[in-house]
Amino acid sequence: MAIDDASHRIIADLLASRTGQQLTESRRWRVSTALSGLFREIGIENVDQLACMLERPGEYRLATRVVEALLNNETYFFRDHVYFNTLANSVLPELARKRASTRRLSIWSAGCSTGQEALSLAMMFAEQSGRWQDWTIEIVGTDISGKAIEQAQSGVYSQFEIQRGISVAQMLNFFAEAQGGWKVSDKIQAMTRFERQNILDFPPSPGKFDLVLCRNVLLYFAPETRRTAFDKLASGLASDGFLMLGAGETVVGQTDRFEPSGLGSALYCPAVGKASQPRRTVENILRPAAATG
Protein backbone atom coordinates (compact mmCIF):
# COMPACT_ATOMS: atom_id res chain seq x y z
CA MET A 1 0.00 0.00 0.00
CA ALA A 2 1.46 3.31 -1.04
CA ILE A 3 1.63 6.02 1.56
CA ASP A 4 0.68 9.49 0.39
CA ASP A 5 3.57 11.90 0.91
CA ALA A 6 1.39 14.38 2.80
CA SER A 7 0.14 11.62 5.12
CA HIS A 8 3.71 10.42 5.62
CA ARG A 9 4.78 13.93 6.61
CA ILE A 10 1.98 14.18 9.18
CA ILE A 11 3.00 10.87 10.77
CA ALA A 12 6.72 11.76 10.60
CA ASP A 13 6.15 15.19 12.16
CA LEU A 14 4.12 13.63 14.96
CA LEU A 15 6.86 11.14 15.80
CA ALA A 16 9.54 13.83 15.70
CA SER A 17 7.57 16.26 17.86
CA ARG A 18 6.83 13.65 20.53
CA THR A 19 10.14 11.75 20.59
CA GLY A 20 12.80 13.52 18.51
CA GLN A 21 13.06 10.43 16.30
CA GLN A 22 13.13 10.65 12.52
CA LEU A 23 10.85 8.56 10.35
CA THR A 24 13.43 8.10 7.62
CA GLU A 25 12.84 6.46 4.25
CA SER A 26 14.51 3.31 5.56
CA ARG A 27 11.85 3.10 8.31
CA ARG A 28 8.92 4.22 6.17
CA TRP A 29 8.20 0.75 4.82
CA ARG A 30 7.16 -0.56 8.24
CA VAL A 31 4.66 2.19 9.06
CA SER A 32 1.59 0.38 7.75
CA THR A 33 2.65 -2.89 9.39
CA ALA A 34 3.31 -1.21 12.75
CA LEU A 35 -0.07 0.52 12.64
CA SER A 36 -2.12 -2.39 11.30
CA GLY A 37 -3.48 -3.35 14.72
CA LEU A 38 -4.53 0.23 15.40
CA PHE A 39 -6.24 0.38 11.99
CA ARG A 40 -8.39 -2.61 12.91
CA GLU A 41 -9.29 -1.18 16.32
CA ILE A 42 -10.51 2.17 15.02
CA GLY A 43 -12.04 0.82 11.80
CA ILE A 44 -9.85 2.35 9.10
CA GLU A 45 -7.79 0.84 6.30
CA ASN A 46 -4.77 3.01 5.59
CA VAL A 47 -2.42 5.76 6.67
CA ASP A 48 -4.23 8.39 4.61
CA GLN A 49 -7.37 7.90 6.69
CA LEU A 50 -5.32 7.98 9.89
CA ALA A 51 -3.65 11.24 8.86
CA CYS A 52 -7.07 12.82 8.31
CA MET A 53 -8.14 11.77 11.80
CA LEU A 54 -4.95 13.13 13.36
CA GLU A 55 -5.60 16.53 11.78
CA ARG A 56 -8.84 16.87 13.72
CA PRO A 57 -8.77 18.85 17.00
CA GLY A 58 -8.66 16.90 20.25
CA GLU A 59 -7.01 13.72 18.96
CA TYR A 60 -4.16 13.71 21.49
CA ARG A 61 -4.95 10.20 22.71
CA LEU A 62 -4.99 8.81 19.17
CA ALA A 63 -1.70 10.58 18.44
CA THR A 64 -0.19 8.96 21.53
CA ARG A 65 -1.30 5.52 20.36
CA VAL A 66 0.22 6.14 16.95
CA VAL A 67 3.56 7.11 18.47
CA GLU A 68 3.53 4.07 20.78
CA ALA A 69 2.92 1.80 17.78
CA LEU A 70 5.78 3.33 15.80
CA LEU A 71 8.40 3.08 18.54
CA ASN A 72 10.85 0.23 18.15
CA ASN A 73 10.73 -1.74 21.42
CA GLU A 74 12.83 -4.66 20.19
CA THR A 75 14.95 -6.00 23.04
CA TYR A 76 15.77 -9.18 24.89
CA PHE A 77 17.70 -10.39 27.92
CA PHE A 78 21.49 -10.09 27.67
CA ARG A 79 21.20 -8.66 24.17
CA ASP A 80 24.62 -8.84 22.48
CA HIS A 81 26.46 -11.03 24.99
CA VAL A 82 29.85 -9.56 24.08
CA TYR A 83 28.71 -6.23 25.54
CA PHE A 84 27.69 -7.82 28.83
CA ASN A 85 30.98 -9.71 28.93
CA THR A 86 32.78 -6.38 28.57
CA LEU A 87 30.74 -4.96 31.42
CA ALA A 88 31.36 -7.97 33.67
CA ASN A 89 35.08 -8.33 32.93
CA SER A 90 36.25 -4.73 32.41
CA VAL A 91 33.80 -1.96 33.27
CA LEU A 92 32.30 -3.18 36.53
CA PRO A 93 35.67 -4.20 38.05
CA GLU A 94 36.99 -0.73 37.21
CA LEU A 95 33.94 0.91 38.76
CA ALA A 96 34.31 -1.34 41.82
CA ARG A 97 37.82 0.02 42.26
CA LYS A 98 36.70 3.63 41.80
CA ARG A 99 33.75 3.33 44.19
CA ALA A 100 35.42 1.16 46.84
CA SER A 101 35.04 3.89 49.46
CA THR A 102 31.30 4.41 49.00
CA ARG A 103 30.36 0.87 47.89
CA ARG A 104 27.55 2.33 45.84
CA LEU A 105 26.82 2.12 42.09
CA SER A 106 24.17 3.88 40.05
CA ILE A 107 23.41 2.74 36.48
CA TRP A 108 21.07 4.29 33.92
CA SER A 109 19.57 2.21 31.12
CA ALA A 110 18.38 4.95 28.73
CA GLY A 111 15.84 3.75 26.20
CA CYS A 112 15.29 0.61 28.26
CA SER A 113 12.19 -0.56 26.35
CA THR A 114 10.41 -3.32 28.32
CA GLY A 115 13.21 -3.58 30.87
CA GLN A 116 15.27 -6.61 29.85
CA GLU A 117 18.56 -4.71 29.71
CA ALA A 118 18.21 -3.32 33.24
CA LEU A 119 17.13 -6.71 34.60
CA SER A 120 20.05 -8.41 32.83
CA LEU A 121 22.39 -6.06 34.67
CA ALA A 122 20.69 -6.87 37.97
CA MET A 123 21.13 -10.59 37.28
CA MET A 124 24.84 -10.00 36.61
CA PHE A 125 25.22 -8.45 40.03
CA ALA A 126 23.24 -11.26 41.67
CA GLU A 127 25.44 -13.88 40.00
CA GLN A 128 28.52 -12.12 41.43
CA SER A 129 27.05 -11.72 44.92
CA GLY A 130 30.41 -12.30 46.60
CA ARG A 131 32.05 -9.38 44.82
CA TRP A 132 29.10 -7.04 45.45
CA GLN A 133 28.25 -8.01 49.02
CA ASP A 134 27.30 -4.95 51.10
CA TRP A 135 27.14 -2.75 47.99
CA THR A 136 24.13 -0.59 47.15
CA ILE A 137 23.22 -1.16 43.49
CA GLU A 138 20.65 1.08 41.81
CA ILE A 139 19.63 0.51 38.18
CA VAL A 140 17.25 3.02 36.62
CA GLY A 141 15.54 2.28 33.32
CA THR A 142 13.80 5.00 31.31
CA ASP A 143 11.89 4.93 28.05
CA ILE A 144 9.51 7.25 26.24
CA SER A 145 7.03 4.41 25.66
CA GLY A 146 4.45 4.28 28.43
CA LYS A 147 3.37 0.80 27.35
CA ALA A 148 6.95 -0.50 27.53
CA ILE A 149 7.52 1.03 30.96
CA GLU A 150 4.31 -0.51 32.30
CA GLN A 151 5.59 -3.97 31.39
CA ALA A 152 9.03 -3.23 32.86
CA GLN A 153 7.43 -2.13 36.11
CA SER A 154 5.26 -5.26 36.23
CA GLY A 155 8.30 -7.51 35.81
CA VAL A 156 6.20 -10.11 33.98
CA TYR A 157 7.41 -11.64 30.70
CA SER A 158 6.02 -14.24 28.34
CA GLN A 159 7.61 -17.64 27.81
CA PHE A 160 8.96 -16.38 24.48
CA GLU A 161 10.52 -13.30 26.08
CA ILE A 162 12.03 -15.37 28.87
CA GLN A 163 13.64 -17.81 26.43
CA ARG A 164 15.36 -14.99 24.53
CA GLY A 165 18.79 -14.56 26.09
CA ILE A 166 18.71 -16.31 29.44
CA SER A 167 19.54 -19.87 30.45
CA VAL A 168 17.21 -22.32 32.15
CA ALA A 169 19.25 -21.89 35.35
CA GLN A 170 18.79 -18.11 35.24
CA MET A 171 15.09 -18.54 34.57
CA LEU A 172 14.68 -20.79 37.61
CA ASN A 173 16.92 -18.65 39.83
CA PHE A 174 15.48 -15.25 38.99
CA PHE A 175 11.88 -15.82 37.83
CA ALA A 176 8.76 -17.56 39.05
CA GLU A 177 5.70 -18.65 37.10
CA ALA A 178 2.90 -16.11 37.30
CA GLN A 179 -0.33 -15.25 35.57
CA GLY A 180 0.58 -14.19 32.05
CA GLY A 181 4.08 -15.64 32.08
CA TRP A 182 7.09 -15.39 34.36
CA LYS A 183 7.67 -12.73 37.01
CA VAL A 184 11.10 -11.50 38.02
CA SER A 185 12.14 -12.23 41.60
CA ASP A 186 11.91 -9.61 44.34
CA LYS A 187 15.71 -9.70 44.73
CA ILE A 188 16.25 -8.64 41.12
CA GLN A 189 13.35 -6.22 41.00
CA ALA A 190 14.61 -4.47 44.14
CA MET A 191 17.73 -3.34 42.26
CA THR A 192 15.72 -1.70 39.46
CA ARG A 193 13.44 1.28 38.99
CA PHE A 194 11.59 2.17 35.78
CA GLU A 195 10.28 5.57 34.72
CA ARG A 196 8.69 6.95 31.59
CA GLN A 197 10.99 9.67 30.33
CA ASN A 198 12.30 11.15 27.10
CA ILE A 199 16.06 10.89 26.74
CA LEU A 200 16.00 14.52 25.57
CA ASP A 201 14.71 15.63 28.97
CA PHE A 202 16.75 15.95 32.16
CA PRO A 203 18.39 12.73 33.43
CA PRO A 204 16.50 10.80 36.11
CA SER A 205 17.48 10.84 39.78
CA PRO A 206 20.12 10.53 41.19
CA GLY A 207 21.48 12.37 38.14
CA LYS A 208 25.17 11.47 38.24
CA PHE A 209 25.39 7.85 37.17
CA ASP A 210 28.51 5.71 37.21
CA LEU A 211 27.45 3.86 34.05
CA VAL A 212 24.96 4.84 31.33
CA LEU A 213 23.80 2.39 28.68
CA CYS A 214 22.16 4.00 25.66
CA ARG A 215 22.17 1.34 22.99
CA ASN A 216 20.41 1.52 19.64
CA VAL A 217 18.54 4.71 20.55
CA LEU A 218 20.53 7.51 18.92
CA LEU A 219 20.33 5.86 15.50
CA TYR A 220 16.89 7.36 15.01
CA PHE A 221 17.84 10.97 15.74
CA ALA A 222 18.81 13.75 13.36
CA PRO A 223 22.39 15.03 13.94
CA GLU A 224 21.35 18.13 15.90
CA THR A 225 18.95 16.16 18.09
CA ARG A 226 21.65 13.52 18.60
CA ARG A 227 24.04 16.21 19.86
CA THR A 228 21.39 17.35 22.32
CA ALA A 229 20.95 13.74 23.47
CA PHE A 230 24.70 13.44 24.06
CA ASP A 231 24.57 16.64 26.13
CA LYS A 232 21.80 15.17 28.27
CA LEU A 233 23.68 11.89 28.69
CA ALA A 234 26.84 13.78 29.65
CA SER A 235 24.95 15.80 32.27
CA GLY A 236 23.73 12.55 33.82
CA LEU A 237 27.12 10.82 33.97
CA ALA A 238 29.75 11.07 36.69
CA SER A 239 33.00 12.69 35.58
CA ASP A 240 34.79 9.33 35.84
CA GLY A 241 31.87 7.21 34.62
CA PHE A 242 31.29 5.25 31.41
CA LEU A 243 28.83 5.48 28.51
CA MET A 244 28.01 2.37 26.47
CA LEU A 245 26.46 2.79 23.00
CA GLY A 246 25.18 0.25 20.50
CA ALA A 247 27.23 -1.40 17.77
CA GLY A 248 26.12 1.05 15.07
CA GLU A 249 26.64 4.17 17.19
CA THR A 250 29.66 6.32 18.00
CA VAL A 251 30.56 9.67 19.52
CA VAL A 252 33.19 10.32 16.86
CA GLY A 253 32.12 13.27 14.75
CA GLN A 254 28.87 13.51 16.72
CA THR A 255 29.78 15.33 19.94
CA ASP A 256 32.73 16.75 21.85
CA ARG A 257 31.32 15.68 25.20
CA PHE A 258 32.72 12.13 25.07
CA GLU A 259 35.86 10.32 23.99
CA PRO A 260 36.83 6.63 23.68
CA SER A 261 37.47 5.05 27.08
CA GLY A 262 40.01 2.47 25.99
CA LEU A 263 37.94 -0.37 27.46
CA GLY A 264 36.11 -1.33 24.28
CA SER A 265 34.81 -0.03 20.99
CA ALA A 266 31.36 0.77 22.40
CA LEU A 267 32.57 2.43 25.61
CA TYR A 268 33.18 6.12 26.12
CA CYS A 269 33.99 8.47 28.96
CA PRO A 270 33.47 12.21 29.46
CA ALA A 271 35.97 14.23 27.45
CA VAL A 272 38.58 15.87 29.65
CA GLY A 273 38.06 19.60 30.04
CA LYS A 274 34.78 19.64 28.13
CA ALA A 275 32.38 21.38 30.44
CA SER A 276 28.76 21.76 29.43
CA GLN A 277 28.49 24.28 26.61
CA PRO A 278 25.36 26.25 25.75
CA ARG A 279 23.49 24.63 22.91
CA ARG A 280 20.11 24.92 21.30
CA THR A 281 17.57 23.53 23.72
CA VAL A 282 15.28 20.65 22.97
CA GLU A 283 12.42 23.13 22.72
CA ASN A 284 14.21 24.85 19.86
CA ILE A 285 14.80 21.58 18.04
CA LEU A 286 11.36 20.07 18.59
CA ARG A 287 8.01 21.72 18.33
CA PRO A 288 6.55 23.20 21.56
CA ALA A 289 4.03 20.34 21.69
CA ALA A 290 6.91 17.93 22.14
CA ALA A 291 7.17 18.20 25.91
CA THR A 292 6.39 14.57 26.67
CA GLY A 293 8.53 12.23 28.67
Question: Could you report the per-residue pLDDT of 121-148, keeping only the tens digit for each?
Answer: 999 999 999 999 999 999 999 999 999 9
Considering the four listed CATH numbers 3.30.70, 1.10.357, 1.10.3470, 1.10.155, the one that applies to the domain covering 5-70 is 1.10.155
Q: What's the pLDDT score for residue 283?
A: 38
Q: What's the pLDDT score for residue 274?
A: 54
Q: What's the pLDDT score for residue 282?
A: 38
- Is the per-residue pLDDT at 287 higher than 50? no
Task: Over range 277-291, report the average pLDDT.
Answer: 38
Q: What's the pLDDT score for residue 74?
A: 86
Exposure string for 142-178, b = 16+ CB within 10 A, e = fewer: bbbbebbbebbbbbbbeeebbeebbeeebbeebbeee
Q: Where are the domains of the chain?
A: 5-70, 81-270
Mention every residue, 6+ apart, whose C-beta is less than 8 A from residue 92: 124, 211
Summarize pLDDT for 161-188 with one digit per residue, the tens. Answer: 999 999 999 999 999 999 989 999 999 9
Give the distance from CA 203 to its chain's centroid. 12
Least confident of 15-19, 27-31, 96-100: 27-31
CATH says 81-270 is which class?
alpha beta
- Is the per-residue pLDDT at 276 higher than 60? no
- Is the per-residue pLDDT at 207 higher than 60? yes
Q: What's the pLDDT score for residue 152?
A: 98
Summarize pLDDT for 63-114 with one digit per residue, the tens. Answer: 999 999 998 888 999 999 999 999 999 999 999 999 999 999 999 999 999 9
Q: Is the fold of 5-70 the same as that of 81-270? A: no
